[in-house]
Chains A and B, each alone.
Chain A
Amino acid sequence: MTLASMARKYEARKAPEGERQATSAMIASLAAEGYDTVAAPFGNALVDAARKDERIVGLTADLGKYTDLHIFQQAMPDRFYQMGMAEQVLMSAAAGLAREGFIPFATTYAVFASRRAYDFIAMAIAEENLPVKIVCALPGLTTGYGPSHQATEDLAIFRGLPNMTLIDPCDADDILGMVPQMIAHDGPVYSRLLRGKVPSVIKKHKPDYRFQLGKAQMIREGKDVLVISTGLMTMRALDAAVNLAEDKVDVAVLHCPTIKPLDLETIAAEAAKGGRLVVTAENHTLMGGLGEAVAAGLLSRGIAPRFRMIGLPDAFLEAGALPTLHEMYGISVGKVVEQIKGWL
């Protein structure tokens, strides 16, 4: 018996005509052209920090190369633990090291931390408020490998976990800036990660930008639309704003790399400046992410602007090439422009 949900697998396919988009590399070049890139910002920032702080150790579950932790491993092999393909003991052992006074950075993919190791993060790390820093690659829709690798609900999962601080960095500068602040924060942190050659985006729009844990920052002012965005979607929002300016649509972008605690003070102050369409944008399911958090925060403060959300649907996403998928699910620059225009 063929399940209805699986019937499609019996439909024959042909190779597409014209330009082909391959899934190929797990890590696609995410930014638009014209941005500089920084190689392995997380690994390099961690090495810099670890040179100053002997408490820092690094652990991974067979994904050192895919989370840029190999940079740390090469620089400080005696402070690196390869835990093998075992995410539960990765998190438990990180908790144990933290109990003994160390600051462990534990890396894997976001799907494995949030789904497979959740109970261990919840009980061994968060419940005891231990300073374990969990840094996870492949956030949201940043791989075409399908739901096994697409962490579309990680922020929703961890938002419900007390004591956790959540970061969704936009670019290399956020990552370079967040590492020392994660260390300075005395508690558990979950951060999404972009790895490899990571674009430097925000500074091109706002040269004096510096990541500040817990703070939302205006990157660009605008009088027609306020986009409140996080992570990768701040890149999209900034590029979309440049495009929309050509059509005389003036778009402000408020970047919220810290998802929890969310800087609702700044968000509310900006949203209360009347007349603007407020749009949230996140590389995450619309269930339980930035959009819902902003909506709840604004309504509780009696602020009710025209409000729309951009993000991933409540669905297991398809496999394929990232540019195709970003178009399909509405998080490409073009789709962000199109959606905002449609709402104006």
Chain B
Amino acid sequence: MTMAGRAVARSNVSLELRAWSIRRKALLMGQVQGQGYIGQALGIADVLAAAYFHALDYRPEDPEWEGRDRFLLSIGHYAIALYAVLMEAGILPEDELETYGMDDSRMPMSGMASYTPGMEITGGSLGHGLGIAVGMAMGLKRKANPAFVYNLMSDGELGEGSTWEAAMSGAHHKLDNLICLVDFNDQQADGKSTEMLCAEPLTEKWEAFGWHAQRVNGNDLAAVVDVFDKARAVKEAKPRVIIFDTTMCKGVPFLESREITHFVRVEADEWDKALAVLEEGRPA
């Protein structure tokens, strides 16, 4: 942590509780719609907690503050998770939670820049975020703005050729202000991502593309915090990637143990049960 502006400095709430609150908000939004990409949201909650309450610099009251670290959500369907953390961070008002996915909501099911404060880009057409992040990182350097650009993408997006065009480009242009976050939950629409189009060996692949690469359990908060710190502190003029191995539905054991799919089915009566289970595990 280098700047007083970091949100964590304004609060004594633990990262564990932040992650827990993100999970809870995501479940509440899922309940509003009766569906949602809840498996991904529960899985990435720890990474988002560390990002927004440890790593990123931003001003909740001014989401377009020029000095902010940019956080790009390449995976549009993870919007439910980002809305949860944006509410937790005070960028989105919490009382809009029940509008999630409703007509005229600022929180559509797939994330779009023109709908939501704090949503930097329109995601959803996969394999776009990293290329846009490359351009933003170039732009920040042109302006001598020291902010970082973070791009959160999924393991499925590793199959898109555009991801690797952007990866080569980031290294070629020595974008040391670019940090790519890969959520590796080994799940995509048709099944396990390693069985669809296997991207392994992934750390070595990114390194071969000229990136500083780390891989860590994305549900181990202490480890997640540590890799964020290391990624920011790399001295070499190269972009950085962190691969987070995450568990879908983390934090709600009866969903975790369900046969996991890209779109986790939750029955109408199970939302309350999931929230109750989560409540039992509330950290201090």
- Provide the A88-102 mask, 1 if CB < 8 A to any CB of B, else 0: 110111111111111
Is A124's CB within 8 Å of the partner chain B?
yes
A86 to B127, CA, bound (A): 14
Per-residue interface assignment for chain B, residues 156 to 169, with 1 indicating a CB less than 8 Å from any chain A CB and 0 otherwise: 00000110011011
Q: Tell whether, in the assembled complex, residue A124 and residue B166 are in contact, meaning their CB atoms are under 8 Å apart.
A: no
Known: A81-B138, A93-B138, A97-B138. A120 touches B143 (CB 8 A): no
Contacts of B142 in A (CB 8 A): 57, 97, 100, 102
A206 to B133, CA, bound (A): 47
Query: Does A83 reach chain B (CB closer than 8 Å)?
Result: yes
Q: A57-B142, A100-B140 are in contact. Are A127 and B131 (CB under 8 A)?
A: no
B122 to A89, Cβ gap below 8 A?
A: no
Docked CA distance A119–B127 (Å): 10
CA distance A88 to B164 in the complex (A): 10
A81 to B120, CA, bound (A): 23
Chain B CB within 8 A of A123 CB: yes
How many residues from A make CB contacts under 8 Å with B?
Answer: 27
Q: A93-B169, A124-B128 given as contacts; is B139 within 8 A of A101 (CB)?
A: yes
Q: Is B172 interfacial (CB-CB < 8 Å)?
A: yes
Chain B: interface residue count, which band?
20 to 34
Could you tell me if A97 and B139 are in contact, using CB atoms closer than 8 angstroms? yes
Partner of A120 from the list B112, B128, B139, B172 (CB cut-off 8 Å) is: B128
Tell whether, in the assembled complex, residue B134 and residue A124 are in contact, meaning their CB atoms are under 8 Å apart: no
Among B114, B125, B162, B169, the residue within 8 A (CB) of A83 is B169
Question: What 1/0 flags go to B137-150 for Cβ under 8 Å of A?
Answer: 11110110000000
Say whether B132 contacts A86, CB under 8 Å. Answer: no
Asked if A84 contacts B135 (CB within 8 A), the reply is: no
* Residues A92 and B134 in contact, CB atoms below 8 Å apart: yes
CB neighbors of B among A70-129 (8 A): 81, 83-84, 86, 88-89, 91-102, 104, 119-120, 122-124, 127-128
For this complex, 28 residue pairs linking A to B, each with C-beta atoms less than 8 Å apart, are: A81-B173, A83-B169, A84-B172, A86-B165, A86-B169, A88-B161, A88-B166, A89-B131, A92-B134, A93-B132, A93-B134, A93-B138, A94-B135, A96-B131, A96-B132, A96-B133, A96-B135, A96-B136, A96-B137, A97-B139, A98-B135, A99-B120, A99-B139, A100-B138, A101-B139, A120-B162, A122-B125, A124-B121
Chain A residues in contact with chain B, CB under 8 A? 57, 81, 83-84, 86, 88-89, 91-102, 104, 119-120, 122-124, 127-128
